[in-house]
Amino acid sequence: MTSPSIDRIEAVRHFNRFYTQQIGVLQEHLNQADFSLTESRILFELGARTALTSADLCQLLGLNAGYLSRIVNGFEKKNLIEKTRSTSDARASELKLTDSGRAVLGQLEQASREAVSVMLQRLPETQQEQLVQGMTQVQNLLSGRTTSYLLRDPQAGDMGIVVQQQASLYTREYDWNSEFEAPVAEIVAKFLREFDRTCERCWIAEKDGKVVGSIFVVRHDEKTAKLRMLYVDASARGLGIGNRLIEECIAFARQAGYEKMMLWTTSILSDARRLYQKAGFQLIEEEPMHSFGKDLVSQTWMRDLSER
């Protein structure tokens, strides 16, 4: 392992001071809700994960056990969290947000989104994208991840690549005929023509300058989002890109106010179905069909977004 130069050490220290200052600015918005940064982080973690114990929170957030215990007791007195006996360890209690706790978390999340929005609005769109990509790279490097992919918004030319990749994949791996390319192109064209950034989104996964994955969230109706066209290139499988794309869709759909998310697939796409099941989707309908030159089983899956 190579020892870092003094210049690199000082550059990291300078960045750390700068970033801490930026976090302080964002914290000013959260202070309106009378919660410290640490208290807010605890609520965020409890909202994002299930079956967390106090020990889990100490490890995740690097907190002293006694300090965390005082915060948890304060949250209990305010009826923000409740404790239940752990199913895996009878000596431990799992912490869960109450309805009041979820309401407070919703206010904190909205305040956080507004603060970040104000910060990003100072930058043109291209620089916003560069900032997000840079943050993703920093996170990957410091967390020890060996995967060098990033998720980003689509750029000019990406949608043509998405159509080409989808058509090639299903022809190559499942021997579907050219009929499949028509609905794929129609989905992409409709997304481009009618895109509503408040309730729709597309993510592109990029690795080494190449598009290796994509996914869409579109509006099905007022309460239901639709996940469409999950794709991960064969060269990038095993890196967790599929899971990450689905997680981003679910998080966005919740923020956009949807109550449910649905998707359509076929029974032969076993790898994708395992990802959907892992993400909490449940099969609600299936029927035989003949499409794309094959006898297939059409499947509709649904997920309740109120469940974590």
Of all residues in the chain, what percent carry a pLDDT higher than 90?
51
Angle at 101 between CA 30 and CA 200, to 5 degrees: 70
Q: Which helix (H) or strand (E) holds 185?
A: helix 181-194
pLDDT in tens, 92-103: 788 889 999 899
Q: Residues 245-284: pLDDT tens digits?
A: 999 999 999 999 999 999 999 999 988 999 999 999 999 9
Whether this prediction's pTM lies above 0.75 is answered by no
Domains in the chain with CATH codes:
6-122 (1.10.10.10), 149-304 (3.40.630.30)
Q: What is the pLDDT of residues 97-124, one digit of tens each?
A: 999 989 988 888 888 888 888 888 888 8
Which tokens go with 105? 């978390």
Helical ranges in the chain per DSSP H: 6-30, 37-48, 54-61, 65-77, 99-121, 125-142, 158-174, 181-194, 241-255, 270-278
Specify the 3-state DSSP secondary structure of 102: helix
Q: Which residue has the higher pLDDT, 307 or 205?
A: 205
Query: Which one is predicted more confidently, 163 or 34?
Result: 163
Q: If pLDDT is split at 50, 70 and 90, which confidence band does 18 have?
A: confident
At residue 146, does pLDDT exceed 60? no
Tens-digit pLDDT profile for residues 153-198: 999 999 999 999 999 999 988 999 999 999 999 999 999 999 999 9
